[in-house]
Amino acid sequence: MMKILRNILYISLLIISNVSFAQDANLKLSSSSNTVAVGQSFRVTVELEGAQAEAYRDPDFNGFRIIGKSSSSGSGGMTIIVNGKPVMNNSGSASWTYTLVAMNVGKYTIGNAKAKVKGSWINSNTATIDVRQGSGQNQQQYANQTQPTQQQNTNVPKGEDNALFLRAEVNKTNPYQGEQIILTYKLYTRIPVLQYVIQESPAFAGFWMENLLNNTKDPKQYNTTLNGTQYTVAEIRKIALFPQRSGNLSIEPQKIKTLVQVQSQRQSYNPFADFFGDDPFFQQFFQRSGFGVENQERDLVSNPINVTVRELPAPTPENFNGAVGSFSIETSIDKKSSYSTDDAISIKYSIKGSGNFALIDDIFIDFPKEFDVYEPEIRDEISKTAGGISGKRSFEYIVIPRVKGKYEIPGFSISYFDLDSKKYVNLENEAITLNVNKGSDNPKAVSSSGDIEYLNEDIRYINTKKLRLQQKDSSFYASGLYFLSFAIPLLVFLFLVILWRKRIKDRANIREYQRRKANKTAAKHLKEAKKLLQNKEETAFYMEISRALWGYLSHKFSIDASDLSLDNVKEVMKTHDISDESTERFIHTLNDCEFTRFAPGDKKDNMQAIFDASHNIILKIEEEIA
């Protein structure tokens, strides 16, 4: 009986297999060149048309080195992840592009690419590449493309840890004292990172530091290749450092905590394996569903960095206050045809450039003694970008000439160390000439940022207006309004106490509080995602959608984020009587979002669809729970 059942299933599966292959799916492999030189790079493209791809396997590139890889989906397509593996799922087309370098002379065959379509694998064609002896220039190009720097080799961990690591990099390791250097912390990953937390910051002993990135925004992300392996890189922190002393200075490691998705070690149960035993045909046809995914917390530590700081050359100018960089001076004054005594005149001195602005904290102007001079207002227009600190610091003086005449306001000078010329540069602005005429006898009111004193204000003048009088007995004291003024604050206070105690009680059970707020919390994330969608900020958009979905799941069903995985989503939702259809839609939306975040290529096409799917599935689950 068992043998008959086995034969029936055997024949049925062969029929299904033939039907699948009868579809209009076409997997084509092509090369940008069939003849290349040793060390020359070229592209190989695999294209799938006319069907959905459930899984994909790379061709065999024996004899070549992969230095780059990207994938994209066609109109209406999506890039999703299933069991931790990238899968193309679309109704249009998909393509995978590889950048290769030929390594040795000879003829090499690039093997079949494979795509799983409707449960069956289809193969592409092969391609034969003729590799010939190249010029020295081509070989040098290959060396430059494939050999990373010594710093890169040192910082890439070995073993399993190279799937996720944190690297610290500086743009200069031998700066001058006071010179701006940029420290960047880069998170390299080949696995999905759900979130990260920057822990205690290094002390940066011997440096003055300024943060250059807004930590409330999503980090810059891009793809890169290290030692032949492709990574997604996120620049999670960027800092401007200014060494305060010469000599050897050390930058201690940065610590971060991450929550990542990894393949779990629990394999899915396959009932066919027990039924058919070790039959090789059925082992191939009914493969186990593979590893699932689970969330794990991982602590990462960056590499330390040593910086050798050069001392500024001697002797230093007398007007040098430690400024290092590149600066210029601008002067502006109220534009008038003439000035009169008692006029308030605004004179602004601005220092522009890039470098350690903080050290330019004062300037000295020798104003004429016939001028009243008020303390300057110092304004900063400092720009902190990924390239460092630049901008303008302005000193605005309000002066009032008291005697008519022709006056010259002398200029001022400062010195700074110029990094291009490696010399001290003296900046000096030109003197200002003012012709002051005699003004009116009545001083004009002065509006300025300084503290301006007004005279003759200590005498109260006679009041010529009518006075408002009231009877002695009509006092506010002991009236009804008087007592009401005491009662209202007391009632408000009691109301606030009751409200406060209720909130304390609600938050005592944090899980219950989060459960009730899960929908509102998800709505906030979706509202932010809507703005990012309109602004086409794709990376930040997908991170916000991920936060909305995983956060909703965690809060609504009272599960720690670290315990959540796609393996247990079905089980959790089934426990809470969520329909199978809603469960599958939720998992599908999560898959779409998580992989698209880390997939190379343009991600804008799927943003609206993923937003709508996320919004609708949360509403659907809320309806079922209610």
Show me where the domains of the chain are located: 24-144, 148-309, 320-437, 510-625
Specify whether domain 24-144 bears CATH 3.40.50.300.
no
Share of the chain above pLDDT 90, in %: 20
Say whether pLDDT at 625 is over 50: yes
* pLDDT for the residue numbered 433: 87
Is the CB of residue 138 less than 8 Å from the CB of residue 42? Answer: no
Strand, helix or coil for residue 18: helix
Asked whether residue 88 carries a pLDDT value surpassing 60, the answer given is no
More confident residue, 176 or 514: 176
Residue 92 phi, psi dihedral angles, 5° rounding: -110, -90
Question: In this structure, which long-range contacts are made by residues 133-141, counting pairs with CB atoms below 8 Å and at least 24 apart in sequence?
Answer: 133/37, 133/38, 133/105, 134/37, 134/38, 134/39, 134/40, 134/102, 135/37, 138/37, 138/38, 138/39, 138/40, 139/38, 139/39, 140/39, 141/39, 141/40, 141/41
pLDDT in tens, 435-457: 888 876 555 544 443 344 443 44
Length of the chain equals: 626
Distance separating alpha carbons of residues 116 and 284, to the nearest angstrom: 13
What's the whole-number average pLDDT of the chain?
Answer: 76
pLDDT of residue 184: 95
pLDDT in tens, 474-526: 556 667 777 788 788 888 888 888 888 777 665 555 556 667 777 888 888 89
Nearest Cα residue to 44 out of 70, 25, 77, 26: 70
Task: Give the confidence band of 467 by pLDDT, cuts at 50, 70, 90.
Answer: low
Mean pLDDT to the nearest integer, 317-321: 87
Task: Output the six-digit token pair for 367.
Answer: 């104003």
Q: How confident is the model at residue 139 (pLDDT cuts 50, 70, 90)?
A: very low
pLDDT of amino acid 448 = 42
Q: What is the CATH number of domain 320-437?
A: 2.60.40
Q: Which amino acid is at 288?
A: R
CATH architecture type of domain 510-625: Up-down Bundle (1.20)
Residue 548 near residue 525, CB atoms below 8 Å: yes
Q: Give CA separation, 376 vs 150, 323, 352, 359, 445, in Å.
A: 52, 21, 17, 17, 19
User: Is residue 165 very low, low, confident or very high in pLDDT (cuts 50, 70, 90)?
Assistant: very high
Asked if pLDDT for residue 183 goes beyond 80, the answer is: yes
| pLDDT recorded at residue 130 | 93
Q: What is the mean pLDDT of residues 99-110?
A: 88
Give whole-number Cα distances, 239 to 180, 202, 386, in Å. 10, 12, 8
Lowest mean per-residue pLDDT among 19-23, 58-62, 389-393, 428-432: 19-23
pLDDT for res 174: 94
Q: Per-residue pLDDT tens for 565-623?
A: 777 788 888 888 888 888 888 888 888 887 776 666 566 777 888 888 898 988 888 88
Tokens 């620049």 identify what position? 235
Higher pLDDT, 14 or 406: 406
**Rounded CA separation 330/352 (Å):** 8
* pLDDT the model gives residue 596: 73
